[in-house]
Amino acid sequence: MCGIVGYSGSGSPKDVILDGLKALEYRGYDSAGVAILDGDQFKRIRAEGKLSTLKEKLDHETFSGHIGIGHTRWATHGKPSERNAHPHCVKGISIVHNGIIENYAELREHLHAEGAEFNSDTDSELVAHLIAAEVDKNKSLFESVLAILPKLTGAFSILAVSIDQPDEIVAFKNGPPLIIGKAATEVIVASDVQAIVKHTKEVIYLEDFEIAHIQGANFKVYDRDGKIIAKKFVHIDWSPEQVEKQGYQHFMLKEIFEQPRAVASAIGPHIDLNEHRVALNKVGFGCSSVEELDRVDLQQDYQHTMELFKNVERIFIIACGTSYYAAMVGKYVIEKMARVPVEVDIASEFRYRDIVIPKNSLFITVSQSGETADTLAALRLVKAMQIPTLSICNVKRSTIDREAQGHLYMNAGAEIGVASTK
């Protein structure tokens, strides 16, 4: 997965963006780069390899502006190289992109016929060309993004800046997450809250085909038709200390030693010590959205959950990677204790099967991040069948968490180590 960070405010874009990209290293990458306003240009610095290589280049650079975008790349179209690293710049437009443009070949052929010259082998550069073509028609950066959205097929989270409007960032997505955090004098947009939490705990999550127009320390969110959307801020529970090593040599070791606390945090909210029973609190099957969980009546919520569970005749658990292995353990426990048959599937296989799901079934997704693409696709497939869905995830308000009907949280804290630790 690529990682993206954007900054607009009164502080130093270089420092905030580098700090944010460092927090996103766990996503994996082969190159990195930034584009930061400096006078009458967005100065672009890129490097193949580790983020430290980019930092060494940036140590010798100063920037006069207070806006910029950054990126860590995991190669899809085009080999790992500085040439293919983001940001991509075309006629004063700079963009960073996470995802895959599926109609890449068609768009490239069209742009080539119109005289476009390409400086990389990536699908991402096409987005910069498309925006630049709209800007040439005397459209603003925001208007240009609105115009190109219908032309893009695939999964994408994109940040765009323009030298003609040097105090603005336009952010838009379909698929990969984009979160916007707002502090008193700055706005930070990133792929993950871990890149934001050091600066603010108040965030909003962009939904698919929503567009954020960021100006200075303020922003507004619009739908694909350009109509403004009222978004509610969500408070992030994580502290900045949770995304630090706290004296350990690396995050993996730190998180291994956090396992006892993580287990207690996961099961603690659902153990009634007075009545010596499991009480699934704040699951939310009776809520219309995940935001209602904070004010739900516990007794009513418990009744909704038990009413649904007593009619369940089959359970499907869908996950990927180590979450899938955890789900297999869950299968044995559930079948032994609840006497309900359980089927465990890898999400990437499940979503492409011609699946038969009995009427009285429960569909459970397991995802640490709440953003696993195949698991999310499987969830959406089952929701369309009107099957009750329950998410087990670690990141509150993640896409899977927001789209599932019921919610159980791991409460394990930040998991930054690449290998699963908690």
Residue 294: pLDDT band with limits 50, 70, 90: confident
What average pLDDT score do residues 305-318 get?
A: 94
Amino acid at 359: K
pTM of the model: 0.83
- 228 pairs with which residues across the strands? 222
Say yes or no to pLDDT of 354 above 70.
yes
138 phi-psi bin (left φ>0, alpha ψ -120 to 50, beta other): left
Cβ-based neighbours of 207, under 8 Å, separated by 6 or more: 173
Q: What's the confidence (pLDDT) of residue 86?
A: 93
**CA separation, residue 72 to residues 239, 336, 368 (Å):** 24, 45, 21
Q: How many helices and strands, by DSSP H and E, does the chain display?
A: 12, 22
Say yes or no to pLDDT of 392 above 70.
yes
What average pLDDT score do residues 173-189 get?
A: 95
Q: What is the pLDDT of residues 64-81, one digit of tens each?
A: 899 999 999 988 888 889
From CA 340, how far away is CA 117, in angstroms rounded? 60
Q: What is the pLDDT of residues 78-124, one digit of tens each?
A: 888 999 999 999 999 999 999 999 999 999 999 999 988 999 999 99
Q: What's the confidence (pLDDT) of residue 419?
A: 74
Say yes or no to pLDDT of 319 above 80.
yes
Q: What is the pLDDT of residues 27-39, one digit of tens each?
A: 778 899 999 999 8
Domains (range + CATH), the chain: 3-241 (3.60.20.10), 245-409 (3.40.50.10490)
From CA 158, how far away is CA 260, in angstroms rounded? 38
Say yes or no to pLDDT of 13 above 80.
yes
Q: What's the confidence (pLDDT) of residue 1?
A: 72
DSSP 8-state assignment for residue 280: -
Residue 376: pLDDT band with limits 50, 70, 90: very high
Q: What is the pLDDT of residues 248-272, one digit of tens each?
A: 888 888 888 888 888 888 888 888 8
From CA 289, how far away is CA 276, in angstroms rounded? 30
The DSSP annotation for 62-98 comes to ----SEEEEEEE--SSS-SSTTTPSPEEETTEEEEEE
Confirm if 212 and 189 have CB atoms less than 8 A apart.
yes
DSSP 8-state assignment for residue 394: S
Q: Which residue has the higher pLDDT, 245 or 14?
A: 14
The DSSP annotation for 337-365 comes to HH---EEEEEHHHHTTS-----TTEEEEE
What average pLDDT score do residues 381-400 get?
A: 93
From CA 23, how far away is CA 130, in angstroms rounded? 30
Residue 240: pLDDT band with limits 50, 70, 90: low
Residue with token string 């939490």: 197
The SS3 assignment for 202 reads strand
State whether the Cα torsion 365-366-367-373 is positive or negative: negative
Residue 412: pLDDT band with limits 50, 70, 90: confident
The SS3 assignment for 260 reads helix
Residue 165, burial from CB neighbour count under 10 angstroms (0-12, 13-18, 19+):
middle
DSSP 8-state assignment for residue 207: P
Peptide linkage before 269 cis (omega within 30 of 0):
no
Mean pLDDT, the chain, rounded, equals: 91
- Cα torsion 48, 49, 52, 55 to 10°: value is 10
Q: What's the confidence (pLDDT) of residue 43?
A: 94
Q: Of 213, 215, 248, whose CA–CA distance to 67 is shortest?
A: 215
Q: Output helix, strand, coil percentages for the chain, rounded to the nearest 5.
A: 30, 30, 40
